[in-house]
Chain A
Amino acid sequence: MAWYVGRRVLQMIPVFFGATLLVYALVFLLPGDPIAALGGNRPLAPGVAAQLRHQYHLDESFFQQYLTYLKGILTLDFGTSYSGRPVTEVMAQAFPVTIRLALLALLFEGVFGIGAGLIAGLRRGGVFDATLLVASLVVIAVPIFVIGFVVQIVFGVKLGWINPTVGPEASWGQLVVPALVLGSISFAYVLRLTRDSVTENLSADWVRTATAKGLSRRRVVSTHVLRNSLIPVVTFLGADLGALMAGAIVTEGIFNIPGVGHALYQAIIRGEGPTVVSIVTVLVVIYILTSLFVDLLYAVLDPRIRYV
């Protein structure tokens, strides 16, 4: 087990270098001069521009820039954006908001997706099952920005039940509706996955054996159907947490949430290499860590899995 975790952590090293190098190169190749852009309509004095270029190492070669940047990251110094704000500060503001949003979305998917999926699976072919299947298909088919705008206009503007946009503080309460939108598609997938898994497990031999032991239906479902059905669902949810954080860009844009997506978008527009690379790197690390966590959780749920 320790050996397995160790190996997985070691695997993170090449992924880390690969991801940073790739993103760094992409930003480097981006057309336009970020320093010239700082001046807006009026060109900067050549001396000032040269000094800024030197300050941000922009006068060096690509690899030199990359190495300087890496040296900074390893000492947890993510550098400063071209507007003079430390990148750490940008991330410290954005990440908590997005993490809150993603966790709320995950909670919604997990609780309601599994709950509804279980009921649909137990009453396969019934009205509840049929309705949910059609509804989930609709949700999966409609792009998230459509769902987002519809929710915003109907509940925010027409009915006035919620604030159409989220303020800069982005509290838990304000994030509930955006989280529902963000998690809606995954919710539909979780529902279908749970339903199919429950249906399959219901006809498993051990379920018949459990019934033959004299267990009541309720106990059979809770101990011998539900737990086994959760195994694929948990894998999906874990992989989804990373996707939710990265995929929050659209939702954050619609509801004007000052999260990671927002910050990333701004940085890309301004060509701020260090900021983009830093945010992406942190996202990559979060993604790797959650997938490791899911793999370990998998072993807890399914004792047949042994990591060696």
Chain B
Amino acid sequence: MSEIISSTRQEFVDPNSPLLEIIDLDVAFKSAQGRDVPAVRKANLVVYPGQTVAIVGESGSGKSTTAHAIIDLLPGTGRVTGGQILFEGRDLTKLPAKEFVGIRGDAIGLVPQDPMSNLNPVWKIGYQVAEALKANGRAKGAEAKRQAAQLLTEAGLGDAERRLKQYPHEFSGGMRQRTLIAIGLAARPKLLIADEPTSALDVTVQRQILDHLETLTTELGTAVLLITHDLGLAAERAEHLVVMYRGQVVESGPAREILRDPQHPYTRRLVASAPSLASRRADTAAARAEVVERAEQVADAAAQEGGTLAAEAASGPAAAAVTDDVLTIENLTKVYKIRGAGPRAAEFKAVDDVSFTVRRGTTTAVVGESGSGKSTLAQMVLRLQTPTAGRVLFDGVDVNGFDRKAQFAFRRRVQPIFQNPYGSLDPTYSIYRTIEEPLRLHRVGDKRSREATVREMLDRVSLPSSVMRRYPNELSGGQRQRVAIARALALRPEVVVCDEAVSALDVLVQAQILALLSELQAELGLTYLFITHDLAVVRQIADRVCVMQSGTLVEHADTETVFEHPQQEYTQALLNAIPGAGLVLSGDR
């Protein structure tokens, strides 16, 4: 590693003159009508050599567009319409396309956002890393291969020799992101643009990779322009913050100062709702307790009433009396068969002997990294998958013993909200039809009363009733997730299974949706099973937490207990990985 580092160009760098200076940058995209639609307006920012600067903002704020404008990689019809981008004094906006090839990789590196789609699936890792060395004249032939192995080692990938011969699909997300970091730093650029480098990864992996990136760029003296939507993460990693909102830079300054004393109203909202920060506030717990109290009352009253209904639906002696525990999961196990190289299939235990109960009117969060089996668990609770062993009891009755009629009744009482609001709504259904469909399916009311219900549901999720005639592609991600919630609640279910229901949303939208879920819980007495990988969110909504690791339940306790006194090392690791966990806030306890 030291060998590669020593090969960094030893040019004279004046630490006091800016490496990158963006002055009044305007970027616009051409609309279908041929008009310019501005995406970035009069943006200014400065990066000094070796400094880490973070651009923070929600999706559509123009942060990624600014970053891509620097290296002339604007997608589609995007182009710079005004201002200057000075890199070491040269204006990059005036550089001919041919000369830009020399800047990319060599002087400015890029670590892109999504590790899953940024490596070419048909080329070996080694080829793709060596390519970055060759393109910038750093090494050739066998030497390039040797250096590629070193770069991977440097980026924290062990057994580099073997890794070089593998393909991207054989890598996990974290390994791919390490590879992309190796590629970005291959030619020892002076500036590295890291565009949401870890937002697609698990929190624990996220932390490792960011730590590693930080060490590496400090050693190499590389300046970093970090693009992120996570204020906590930005404040933790960068000395200087630039906050963007609707294409404009609304605030910039030293990270701690902005956190302590945000000036712009948008920044204030951002600081207030960042989950990583909000989760540590004392008032979160108090608000939560109130919600649960109200929810339990409503739920108990409803259960007394609905108990007879449930007994009718689940005919037979098994239809027990209404209990406090609406869901009981007993020794639940799911084994998948994986086709291997031979005629016999191998077995994979996705969920291994999991047991817990969910109290009516409360929220139980199931947390864990990807691959821990939490989604499989949710699907078994929803009866979308059949368990290999064990039982799921709903109101004391095994859901897998249901006949067709009982299952239909069960579907009405237990509703899901899925992660991807882009994929879980049928694009050919209008919003009205989307929300009305479950009502029609379950023959609830007549046409007029169904329309009234749809209006009421839209109102509950704070959407104007004018969206009824629109289609999913005309709504934003947050709006779509509200529609998904409205659809789930239309049937007045008792239990809602949220599978990463807020993970794909921007921070502010996420905060709104979480508040909405809490409110609805109190009002309607809902019980939530909340599947998530994000512990920061858990504290705001959950009463009990189940921590899963490779299919098994490793910890199960009250949210307070899990956060204050985690018993397992794994839980501690998850907690430490919440970005911004170590930051001190004003107004904190």
A residues near B (Cβ < 8 Å) are 1, 3, 203-206, 208-217, 219, 223-224, 227-228, 231, 301-304, 308
B102 at the interface (CB under 8 A from A): yes
Q: Which of B71, B105, B117, B187 contacts A206 (CB 8 A)?
A: B117
Q: Could you tell me if B342 and A3 are in contact, using CB atoms closer than 8 angstroms? A: yes
B106 at the interface (CB under 8 A from A): yes
Q: Which of A213, A223, A227, A303 contacts B104 (CB 8 A)?
A: A213
B225 at the interface (CB under 8 A from A): no
Q: Could you tell me if A205 and B117 are in contact, using CB atoms closer than 8 angstroms? A: yes
Q: Which residues of B contact A213 (CB under 8 A)?
A: 104-105, 131-132, 135-136, 183, 186
Q: Could you tell me if B169 and A303 are in contact, using CB atoms closer than 8 angstroms? A: yes
Q: Could you tell me if B120 and A224 are in contact, using CB atoms closer than 8 angstroms? A: yes
Nearest Cβ in chain A — how far from B268, in angstroms?
34
Q: Could you tell me if B120 and A214 are in contact, using CB atoms closer than 8 angstroms? A: no
Q: Which of A219, A223, A231, A308 contacts B339 (CB 8 A)?
A: A308
Q: Could you tell me if B340 and A308 are in contact, using CB atoms closer than 8 angstroms? A: yes
B444 at the interface (CB under 8 A from A): no
For A301, the closest partner residue in chain B by CB is B122
Q: Could you tell me if A212 and B102 are in contact, using CB atoms closer than 8 angstroms? A: no
Q: Which of A3, A214, A223 contacts B132 (CB 8 A)?
A: A214
Segment of B108-116, B272-280, B375-383, B510-518 engaged in the interface with chain A: B108-116
Q: Could you tell me if B112 and A214 are in contact, using CB atoms closer than 8 angstroms? A: no
Q: Which residues of A contact B123 (CB under 8 A)?
A: 223-224, 227
Q: Could you tell me if A205 and B102 are in contact, using CB atoms closer than 8 angstroms? A: no
User: Which residues of chain B from 337 to 362 have any CB-CB distance to chain A below 8 Å in the complex?
Assistant: 339-343
For this complex, 23 residue pairs linking A to B, each with C-beta atoms less than 8 Å apart, are A3-B342, A204-B117, A206-B118, A206-B119, A206-B120, A206-B121, A208-B73, A208-B75, A208-B112, A209-B112, A210-B120, A210-B131, A212-B109, A213-B132, A213-B186, A214-B103, A214-B105, A214-B136, A214-B187, A216-B101, A301-B122, A303-B167, A308-B340
Q: Which residues of B contact A302 (CB under 8 A)?
A: 121-122
For A215, the closest partner residue in chain B by CB is B135
Q: Which residues of B contact A217 (CB under 8 A)?
A: 101
Nearest Cβ in chain A — how far from B336, in angstroms?
15
Instruction: Known A213-B104, A304-B167; judge A219-B340 contact (CB<8 A).
Output: no
Inter-chain CA distance A211–B343, complex, in Å, is 43
Q: Which residues of B contact A228 (CB under 8 A)?
A: 120-122
Inter-chain CA distance A214–B114, complex, in Å, is 19
Nearest Cβ in chain B — how far from A233, in angstroms?
14
Q: Could you tell me if B120 and A203 are in contact, using CB atoms closer than 8 angstroms? A: no
Q: Could you tell me if B118 and A304 are in contact, using CB atoms closer than 8 angstroms? A: no
B180 at the interface (CB under 8 A from A): yes
Q: Which residues of A contact B339 (CB under 8 A)?
A: 308
User: Which residues of chain B from 108 to 150 have any CB-CB distance to chain A below 8 Å in the complex?
Assistant: 109-110, 112, 114, 117-124, 131-132, 135-136
For B342, the closest partner residue in chain A by CB is A3
Nearest Cβ in chain A — how far from B171, in angstroms?
12
Inter-chain CA distance A172–B162, complex, in Å, is 48
Q: Could you tell me if A209 and B183 are in contact, using CB atoms closer than 8 angstroms? A: yes
Nearest Cβ in chain A — how far from B129, in angstroms?
9
Q: Could you tell me if B132 and A304 are in contact, using CB atoms closer than 8 angstroms? A: no
Q: Which residues of A contact B109 (CB under 8 A)?
A: 212
Closest 10 interchain pairs by CB? A214-B105, A212-B110, A205-B117, A206-B120, A213-B132, A214-B135, A303-B167, A213-B105, A214-B104, A205-B118
Q: Could you tell me if B341 and A214 are in contact, using CB atoms closer than 8 angstroms? A: no
Nearest Cβ in chain B — how far from A26, in angstroms?
37
Inter-chain CA distance A228–B102, complex, in Å, is 25
Inter-chain CA distance A219–B120, complex, in Å, is 14
Q: Which residues of A contact B183 (CB under 8 A)?
A: 209, 213
Instruction: Known A208-B112, A209-B183, A223-B123; judge A304-B169 contact (CB<8 A).
Output: yes
Q: Which residues of B contact A231 (CB under 8 A)?
A: 122
Q: Which residues of A contact B132 (CB under 8 A)?
A: 213-214
Which applies to chain B's interface (DSSP): helix, strand, loop or mixed?
A: loop
Inter-chain CA distance A224–B103, complex, in Å, is 20
Inter-chain CA distance A208–B186, complex, in Å, is 16
Q: Could you tell me if A219 and B122 are in contact, using CB atoms closer than 8 angstroms? A: no
Inter-chain CA distance A203–B74, complex, in Å, is 11
Nearest Cβ in chain A — how far from B178, in angstroms?
14
User: Which residues of chain B from 160 to 202 have any CB-CB distance to chain A below 8 Å in the complex?
Assistant: 167, 169, 180, 183-184, 186-187
Q: Could you tell me if B114 and A308 are in contact, using CB atoms closer than 8 angstroms? A: no
Inter-chain CA distance A249–B76, complex, in Å, is 47
Inter-chain CA distance A227–B104, complex, in Å, is 23
Known contacts A203-B76, A212-B105, A216-B101; 18 further A-B pairs (Cβ under 8 A): A206-B118, A208-B73, A208-B75, A209-B110, A209-B118, A209-B119, A209-B183, A212-B104, A213-B104, A214-B101, A214-B103, A214-B187, A215-B131, A216-B135, A223-B131, A224-B120, A303-B121, A303-B169
Q: Which residues of A contact B118 (CB under 8 A)?
A: 205-206, 208-209
Q: Which of A1, A203, A303, A304 contacts B75 (CB 8 A)?
A: A203
Inter-chain CA distance A301–B131, complex, in Å, is 19
Instruction: Known A219-B135, A223-B123; judge A211-B169 contact (CB<8 A).
Output: no
Q: Which residues of B contact A303 (CB under 8 A)?
A: 121-122, 124, 167, 169
For B121, the closest partner residue in chain A by CB is A304
Q: Could you tell me if B117 and A308 are in contact, using CB atoms closer than 8 angstroms? A: no
Q: Which residues of B contact A205 (CB under 8 A)?
A: 112, 114, 117-118
Inter-chain CA distance A303–B122, complex, in Å, is 6
For A206, the closest partner residue in chain B by CB is B120
Q: Could you tell me if A209 and B180 are in contact, using CB atoms closer than 8 angstroms? A: yes
For A4, the closest partner residue in chain B by CB is B341
Inter-chain CA distance A204–B112, complex, in Å, is 12
Q: Which residues of A contact B180 (CB under 8 A)?
A: 209
Inter-chain CA distance A205–B122, complex, in Å, is 14
Nearest Cβ in chain B — how far from A9, in angstroms?
15
Q: Which residues of A contact B119 (CB under 8 A)?
A: 206, 209
Inter-chain CA distance A214–B339, complex, in Å, is 41
Inter-chain CA distance A203–B76, complex, in Å, is 8
For B193, the closest partner residue in chain A by CB is A212
Inter-chain CA distance A203–B101, complex, in Å, is 18
Nearest Cβ in chain B — how far from A224, in angstroms?
5
Q: Which residues of B contact A3 (CB under 8 A)?
A: 341-343
Inter-chain CA distance A228–B123, complex, in Å, is 10
Nearest Cβ in chain B — how far from A267, in angstroms?
42
Q: Could you tell me if A214 and B102 are in contact, using CB atoms closer than 8 angstroms? A: yes
Nearest Cβ in chain B — how far from A206, in angstroms?
4
For B98, the closest partner residue in chain A by CB is A216
Q: Could you tell me if B117 and A214 are in contact, using CB atoms closer than 8 angstroms? A: no
Q: Which residues of B contact A212 (CB under 8 A)?
A: 71, 73, 104-105, 109-110, 112, 184
Q: Which residues of A contact B136 (CB under 8 A)?
A: 213-214
Inter-chain CA distance A81–B542, complex, in Å, is 82
Q: Which residues of A contact B106 (CB under 8 A)?
A: 214
Inter-chain CA distance A301–B120, complex, in Å, is 12
